[in-house]
């Protein structure tokens, strides 16, 4: 249940990231713009379609539309200024671009390869992995199991909460399943306290007892949450297989994919009789 944050370890790595980011922004923006576009910086345009596509990508998950547009404008201005100052002709820049092209091409090919070869662990493999690594699923903090539903309409959120208080969560949610003001809902979601954002959401849960339902909470402008606390899984407790299953699957899938890629590369070397020479310094 741990999230690892990798830090950039060198200026070159940072430069590669900047390079890739710039090209992803600038490359798209130079296409001929449809009639409707959102932003224009000189000849570069950002369209509604490009925004939707970018925000659906994993690297932009959690970004607001306005934040993405602001970042695009800044990147485009800096890119154009860099071009004016001859950065695109510098040897170091082009060396990084060339290396980045290889890395991006390899990454795209890997994604294509993995999409064509579905690699998923079996239930038995996941149980064996879990049993062999149980200690890794010990909680580092209290974990809350919650039901959460978000509305765009405050009055509908109040109506829903009242219905839950009179009946129960599942039957109320079932009656509201076609309600257009529901933005999203999660049943039995597991979250650490630090994952509860904004602070008003965390505060509303601090005093709740098991199965108790919160008041309607405005978490963002025109976004209202109703939360039910199902249970608290205490710190140092080892998650059950069922609760850890998604993480077990993710870990084991990554391991199996790495093994698959290693065998695939070994086969390429053997099949094509590739000559690989390593020279000592």
Of 190, 214, 233, which closes a domain? 233
Relative to beta strand 223-233, strand 143-151 is antiparallel
281 domain residue, yes or no? no
Residues 37 and 157 in one domain: no
Residues 133 and 244 in one domain: yes
* DSSP labels, 60-92: GTT--HHHHHHHHHHHHHHHHHHHHTTGGG-HH
Residues 132 and 143 in one domain: no
Residues 150 and 199 in one domain: yes
CA dihedral 133, 134, 140, 141 (to 10 degrees): 150
* DSSP labels, 202-243: HHHHHTPPTT-BPPPEEEETTEEEEEEEEEEEPTTPBPPHHH
Residues 259 and 122 in one domain: yes
Our measurement of the distance from residue 175's CA atom to the centroid of its chain's CA atoms, rounded to an integer in Å, reads 31
Residues 173 and 159 in one domain: yes
Residues 245 and 207 in one domain: no
What is residue 46's predicted lDDT score, i.e. its pLDDT?
Answer: 85
279 domain residue, yes or no? no
CA distances for 194 relative to 104, 135, 142, 143, 280, angstroms: 34, 22, 10, 10, 49
**Range of 65's domain?**
11-107
Domain count, the chain: 3
Relative to beta strand 39-41, strand 44-46 is antiparallel
Q: Is 116 exposed, middle or buried (0-12, 13-18, 19+ CB in 10 A)?
A: exposed
77 domain residue, yes or no? yes
273 domain residue, yes or no? no
Residues 148 and 229 in one domain: yes
Our measurement of the distance from residue 36's CA atom to the centroid of its chain's CA atoms, rounded to an integer in Å, reads 29
66 domain residue, yes or no? yes
- As given in the structure block, the two tokens for residue 165 are 């208080």
What backbone torsions phi and psi does residue 184 show, to the nearest 5 degrees?
-170, 160
274 domain residue, yes or no? no
Residues 35 and 56 in one domain: yes
What is residue 146's predicted lDDT score, i.e. its pLDDT?
Answer: 96
276 domain residue, yes or no? no
pLDDT in tens, 47-63: 888 888 888 887 777 77
What backbone torsions phi and psi does residue 71 show, to the nearest 5 degrees?
-65, -40
CA atoms of 249 and 90, how far apart (whole Å): 45
269 domain residue, yes or no? no
Residues 132 and 244 in one domain: yes
Q: Which parts of the chain register pLDDT below 50?
A: 1-33
Of 61, 86, 107, which closes a domain? 107
Residues 100 and 123 in one domain: no
What CATH number does residue 162 fall under?
Answer: 3.10.50.40
Residues 164 and 212 in one domain: yes
């Amino acid at each position: 249940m741990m999230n690892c944050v990798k830090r950039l370890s060198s200026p070159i790595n940072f430069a590669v990231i900047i390079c890739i980011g710039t090209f992803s922004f600038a490359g798209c923006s130079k296409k001929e713009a449809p009639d409707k576009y959102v932003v224009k910086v000189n000849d570069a345009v950002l369209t509604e379609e490009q925004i939707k596509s970018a925000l659906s990508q994993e690297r932009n998950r959690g970004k607001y539309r306005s934040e993405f547009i602001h970042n695009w404008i800044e990147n485009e201005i800096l890119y154009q200024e860099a071009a004016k100052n001859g950065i695109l002709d510098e040897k170091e820049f082009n060396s990084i671009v060339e290396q980045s092209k290889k890395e991006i091409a390899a990454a795209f090919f890997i994604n294509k390869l993995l999409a064509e070869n579905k690699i998923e662990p079996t239930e038995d493999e996941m149980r064996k992995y879990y049993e062999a690594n149980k200690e890794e699923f010990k909680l580092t903090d209290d974990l809350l199991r919650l039901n959460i539903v978000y509305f765009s309409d405050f009055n509908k959120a109040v109506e829903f909460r009242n219905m839950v208080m009179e009946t129960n969560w599942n039957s109320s949610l079932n009656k509201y399943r076609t309600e257009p003001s529901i933005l999203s809902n999660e049943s039995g979601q597991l979250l650490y306290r630090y994952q509860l954002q904004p602070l008003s959401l965390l505060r509303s849960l601090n005093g709740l007892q098991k199965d108790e339902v919160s008041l309607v909470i405005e978490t963002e402008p025109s976004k209202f949450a109703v939360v039910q606390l199902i249970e608290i899984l205490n710190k140092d407790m080892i998650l059950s297989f069922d609760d850890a299953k998604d993480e077990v699957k993710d870990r084991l899938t990554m391991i199996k994919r790495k093994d698959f890629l290693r065998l695939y590369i070994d086969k390429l070397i053997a099949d094509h009789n590739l000559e690989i020479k390593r020279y000592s310094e």
